[in-house]
Amino acid sequence: MKFARFISGGRFLTGQLQRGMLIDHAGEAHDPSQVTFRLPVDPPKVIALALNFNDHAGELGLTQPTEPALFWKPNTTLLPHRGSVIYPRGAEFMHYEVELAVIVGRDARRVKAKDAMDYVGGYTIGNDLVVRDYVTNTFRPPLRGKGWDTFGPLGPYYVTADEVSDPHDLTLRAFVNGELRQEGSTRDMIFSIPELIEHISRFMTLQKDDVILTGTPKGISHVHPGDVMRLEVQGLEALENDVVMETEDAEPIKGREDKEPVWDGR
């Protein structure tokens, strides 16, 4: 099943995607093109993975890590489908990264790889945006490069795990202004989802609704204010966000939803 959280008619709702329409708890249909999408999930934390594709490491002139290279995406980076990504003033090279985002289905601690998929609740699409200028040492968490407000779009849907027969064989694509810029497959990930869950849960409790970003393939390129990014993961629909220039009077980002939807069918 595919669920979305959205605002329609002044109400904060959850709906299931059926035949191109979002059906809420009362059976009312909403046109996805006419609603305001919210985040598909409100994660306690977001853990991202660097250099999980050999070809991406190669285009950066780096070697693949011997164990998962993890870093945080602050919750203030989170942005829903069709939200505007803020381009930082003075940035020289800002780029998208299309990624399969794993949503943890229940709390996990010291999980073995053979059992790890039982802890996956579902999937969504992630865009791990970065200002490459500020990523100067891969052995330090790239918080300044990847932690800007709005640099973590997620969505549009929470796709339950049963909808995805093989998450390790999904096509990833990124378009900018309709031009295909990036293409790859999750089958080329260095560390699989079970390996990541085993590794992370060895030292940290993974909580329900945590998000794990699983890395990106080769194909990064500069985006500019005015550009529109469309990121696709096979079977998960498409995540779209435009880019706008940072202003001096930017409002603080809350980073988490300030209220709950009236119904959650999951």
The band of 260, judged by pLDDT with boundaries at 50, 70 and 90, is low
Mean pLDDT along residues 187-210: 98
The half-sphere exposure of 17 on its side-chain side, counting CA atoms within 13 A, is 21
* Domain range annotation of the chain: 1-38, 39-245
Q: Identify the pLDDT of residue 251.
A: 74
Q: How confident is the model at residue 16 (pLDDT cuts 50, 70, 90)?
A: very high
Please report how many Cα atoms fall inside a 13 Å half-sphere around the Cα of residue 210, on the Cβ side: 22
Question: What is the arithmetic mean of pLDDT over 100-113?
Answer: 98
Instruction: Answer whether residue 140 shows pLDDT above 70.
Output: no
* Predicted pLDDT at 139: 47
pLDDT in tens, 38-59: 999 999 999 999 889 987 877 8
Q: How high is the mean pLDDT of the chain?
A: 92
Q: Find the Cα–Cα–Cα–Cα dihedral 154, 159, 160, 166, rounded to 10°.
A: -100
Given the candidates 3.30.70.890, 3.40.640.10, 2.30.30.370, 2.60.40.1180, the CATH classification of the domain at 1-38 is: 2.30.30.370
157 contacts: CB under 8 Å, gap ≥ 6: 2, 3, 4, 17, 40, 124, 236, 237
pLDDT at 257 > cutoff 70:
no
For 39-245, CATH number? 3.90.850.10
pTM of the model: 0.93
pLDDT over 90 percentage in the chain: 82
Q: Residue 16 forms beta bridges with which residues? A: 3, 23
Radius of gyration over every alpha carbon of the chain, rounded to an integer in angstroms: 18
